[in-house]
Amino acid sequence: MLRDDAPIIIESRPLMNDPQPDKHPLEQAPKRHPLEQPQTPRPAGEPRQRVNLRIPSVTPKVTYVLLAINVVVFLLKAFSVQIDEQLFLWGANHGPDIFQKGEYYRLLTSMFLHAGVYNDDGGFALQYSIHLISNMYVLYAVGMSMERLFGHTRFLIVYLLGGLTGSVASALFGGANVYSVGASGAVFAILGAEFVYLWHHRKLMGAAGRARRQSLVALAVITFIGGLLSQLPGSGLRVDNWGHAGGLVGGLVLSWVLSPILNLRQHPDHPNELLGEDINPLRKHYWFVSLYATVLVVLTFIGVFLARR
């Protein structure tokens, strides 16, 4: 996979391309974290020294593809009430259809379907499009940065397997009368990945990273409370808490193992720059990805067994 250098600019000035190290960071002698080196006390009133940090990144592409698929499917559903209804009935996540009829594809297709723009009487209800807009906004806002840092393949693995975790959880625990659609489970997986990345680099990110982690926790709590309130009688909105929870747990677990972990070292040529090298490459964890996918398959067949008892 080709990489583009995407420096995090703490002090703006031109950056040059750096040669690749002769050895992989794991093959080199351990280096003390630059931020943990003993520091000479700064004289009172002297401003803190600012540095540039260069980290490996890629140009987002998968995020745009996912956005396009979701939007195109939504527009296709909007052509007519009949198309909207047929696509919903064909692809929505529904436990009995999955476990009793063997329609396993629903676990995936439901991740790319959203509420349409028609109400029960066949009239336009444009407010339903908020379902798509909110999911796509978070996917764009968070997915762009996460794909840059995680790379195309790692990002797609977290998105798809995390989303499938939400689908399996919803099908198992959501109830026989629940039809669920939406990318929320996969989006929550990406939010979980962001939290893990910030946690792995909490010393580097400092107060800004801590504030962002707190905002992610608050968002999750508010969403789940809203989901519980949506179950009250008279509520016109139904939120799939099991799908959200499954996606979030999937994103946390997957990214805990797969997330890039940066080893910082001083730039050999520029004293005010740090190099961040990923010491946790994806190739080390293909076995874990296979194991995780296998667990999802096993959980699905447990659902089949329980449904046929």
| Joined tokens for residue 307 | 């449904």
Task: Report pLDDT for 48.
Answer: 61
pLDDT reported for residue 47: 61
Question: DSSP per residue over 236-271, as a string?
Answer: S----HHHHHHHHHHHHHHHHHHS--EEEEE-SS-T
Residue 223 CA from chain centroid, whole number: 16
- Tell me how far apart the alpha carbons of residues 182 and 88 are, in angstroms, rounded to a whole number: 11
| 94: Cβ contacts below 8 Å, ≥ 6 apart | 106, 171, 178, 179, 180
Once rounded to an integer, what is the mean pLDDT over residues 274-288?
A: 93
Give the separation between CA 110 and CA 112, rounded to whole angstroms.
Answer: 5
Domain annotation for the chain: domains and CATH numbers: 51-307 (1.20.1540.10)
pLDDT of residue 75: 95
Instruction: Look up residue 44 and give its two tokens.
Output: 């009172």
Provide the whole-model pTM.
Answer: 0.83
Q: Cite the active site residues.
A: 184, 244
Give the residue with greater pLDDT, 191 vs 236.
191
- Alpha carbon distance 11, 8 (integer Å): 9
Give 104-117 pLDDT, tens digit per residue: 999 999 999 999 88
Query: Quick one: pLDDT at residue 40?
Result: 55
Q: Is the pLDDT of residue 298 over 90?
A: yes
